[in-house]
Homo-oligomer: A and B are copies of this chain.
Amino acid sequence: MSMAKACIDVQCPIQFVVDLLGNKWSILLLRELFGGDRRTHELLAALPGVSTKTLTQRLRELEAHGLVERRVYAEVPPRVEYSLTPKGQQLQPVMAALHQVGSQWLAQDPCFCVLNTPPWLIER
């Protein structure tokens, strides 16, 4: 989202947050940081499928918006740790609500994928 878009178009608070976090990895990244400080390779491991490029991009965005803090230690080999800022922690109710609904839906969903489809119904 461009800053301009945020200011001109967005009057709705919900849209504001969605524009900020409505991409493939941001929420999952934050979820991970709610579990505590994380080093880069820990985040890479926790988010299967993410590339280093994308991870860094997301982290930089979140940092720019003040949700995440990046600490660099002058060591060899390099060590970098990411953590939630107080502003980032304001997302806690959102994460809790998402977790709550997600749990309900996972439990109650019939799930029509092949894993739950009887063999005689699978087309070949």
The chain A residues found within 8 Å of chain B, CB to CB, are 2-4, 6-10, 12-18, 22-24, 27-28, 31, 48, 87, 90-91, 93-106, 111-116
Contact = CB atoms under 8 A, between A and B. Distances in A.
B106 A90 contact: no
User: Most chain-B Cβ atoms within 10 A of its Cβ — which of A8, A18, A100, A111?
Assistant: A18
Contacts of A15: 28, 31, 102
Copies in the complex: 2
A14 B87 CA distance: 20
A55 to B, nearest CB: 16
Contacts of A105: 13, 16-17, 87, 90
B28 A18 contact: yes
Contacts of A18: 27-28, 98
A7 B115 contact: yes
B102 A16 contact: yes
Nearest to A2: B113
